[in-house]
Amino acid sequence: MSEIQGNGMRPGRPRAIVVGSGAGGAAAARELQGPYQVTVLEAGREFRRLGLSTRWLERLRNWRLLVDERIISLAFPAMRIRRSREGLVHVNGLGTGGTTTLSAGNALRMDGPLRELGIDLDREFEELAREVPISAGHGGGWSAETRRLFELCRESGLAPRPAPKMVDLDRCRRCGRCVLGCPHGAKWDSRRFLDDARAGGARLVTGCRVRKVVIRAGRAVGVRARIGARTVFIPADLVVLSAGGLGTPPILERSGIRCEPRLFVDPVLCVAAPWPGSRQHRELPMAFVVQRPGYIISPYFDYLSFLFNRRWRRPADRILTLMIKLADSERGRARGRGGRLDKTLTVEDRRRLAEAEALCRNLLVRLGARPEDIFVGTLNAGHPGGMLPLTEADASTLHPDRLPANLYVADATLLPRSQGNPPILTILALARRVARVAAAAAGAGRAAPRPAA
């Protein structure tokens, strides 16, 4: 095994490794670069959006070439799809920007469960509001169907509201391809924070899959990782794990640190009707949200079902969809070995999903769809987290006791429970605070002395 020492780094500064460059990793790297010499280790490559047009995708589908969701990564390596043992499809980003590059651009503050623990992130949210372009003023670009759905929800007392978007609306062309990577540089994703960290001197190593944290005498001394066929050891004074809700727990467990079988994923189910002339695939996705106890509903063109679900083999401009995003029970795990995921929906999860589906069917019928024509999509999920949940005892340190003093987690793994709502903004705020706490703890003399090279 070879050792990477960080060529070109300024000597003398403590070294921090940040694993992953998604929401949590980019926010932590940007904060730590300065007090630390940061190296970001990213399993994937530089992000590339999916270039194929919707017409071409439709052709490939009609030629029956798209047989399984997992093959999407052949054309679009930044999207990784896995199936849990129970058949639930999990979607994640792999590459710079992590899953934020695939986001629908929603920017909701969802820190209720953290606040209940005594964690106040007001300062971080205020800073983010100045740094990330967030606006809900996109109503002028909505399709006629979206406007009618919005009105219908309002008349039904569902209190819909335009979704705040981390999108530069002047540059947005309403092309509807947010989840395939924005072609116009309008959507904010965490590569912007990664670029800031790099401009400050941070180093990025792509194609570097971290296997475990190396812990000696109760302290993290670095990480073991695979770069191509090579296994390398990369030393560090501080290690921050931000490999996401499915990536961080296996690294912890390989390092001998137990996680909790409390995986949540925010399952998504789309309910659709045939709708000639629909323009939903050509507008900002999730233009508005209805927030109900335990789930949200929102208009959304579901590419995953459109491409891979037999019931959806119809032209894109003939489908009108409402998405349900559920707050699921914390039950499941991402395993280190074999990569299998366990995620079960409980009876209560299924009950709430059925309630939400009935509401969506009702709305589509009131809009003019025939009940017998309505069809549902593939049950999938893309907001994993919760396997090392923060507790009241961690409120000031943001550092669960079982971690060595100089090992931190800064991603969705720390979130205490599912909210069935978009989490990026909350993860950015939390990761920034974790990085601040880590740097302050090290400044107070708790960082490991640099091991001899």
Q: Which of residues 184-213 bind ligand FAD (CB under 6 A)?
A: 209-210
100 Cβ contact list (under 8 Å, min separation 6): 22, 23, 26, 93, 188, 189, 190, 191, 424
d(CA 216, CA 407): 12
- Note whether 164 binds ligand FAD by CB under 6 A: no
- Which residue type occupies 398? L
d(CA 369, CA 189): 36
Q: Which of residues 87-106 bind ligand SF4 (CB under 6 A)?
A: 105
3-class DSSP state for residue 177?
coil
Strand partners, 238: 16
CB 42 within 8 A of CB 22: no
| Residue reference for tokens 């109760």 | 218
d(CA 276, CA 391): 50
- Note whether 178 binds ligand SF4 by CB under 6 A: yes
- Note whether 281 binds ligand SF4 by CB under 6 A: no
d(CA 187, CA 103): 9
| Residue reference for tokens 């991402």 | 334
CB 94 within 8 A of CB 108: no
CB 38 within 8 A of CB 29: yes
For ligand SF4, the binding residue among 173, 313, 350, 402 (CB under 6 A) is 173
Q: How many residues does the chain have?
A: 453
In the complex with ligand FAD, which residue's Cβ is closer, 25 or 35?
Answer: 25
- Note whether 187 binds ligand SF4 by CB under 6 A: yes
Stretch that binds ligand FAD, among 60-68, 98-106, 230-238, 435-443 (CB under 6 A): 98-106
- Note whether 92 binds ligand FAD by CB under 6 A: yes
Stretch that binds ligand FAD, among 58-66, 89-97, 360-368, 370-378 (CB under 6 A): 89-97
Nearest distance from C-beta of residue 108 to ligand FAD, angstroms: 7
| Residue reference for tokens 């921090």 | 16
- Note whether 42 binds ligand FAD by CB under 6 A: yes
d(CA 325, CA 158): 15
404 interface partner picked from ligand FAD, ligand SF4, none, CB below 5 to 8 A per type: none
- Note whether 84 binds ligand FAD by CB under 6 A: no
Q: Which of residues 405-424 bind ligand FAD (CB under 6 A)?
A: 411-412, 422-424
Residues that bind ligand FAD (CB under 6 A): 19-25, 41-44, 91-95, 98-100, 102-106, 179, 209-210, 242-245, 247, 251, 382-383, 411-412, 422-424, 427
Residues that bind ligand SF4 (CB under 6 A): 105, 167, 172-178, 182, 184, 186-187, 284
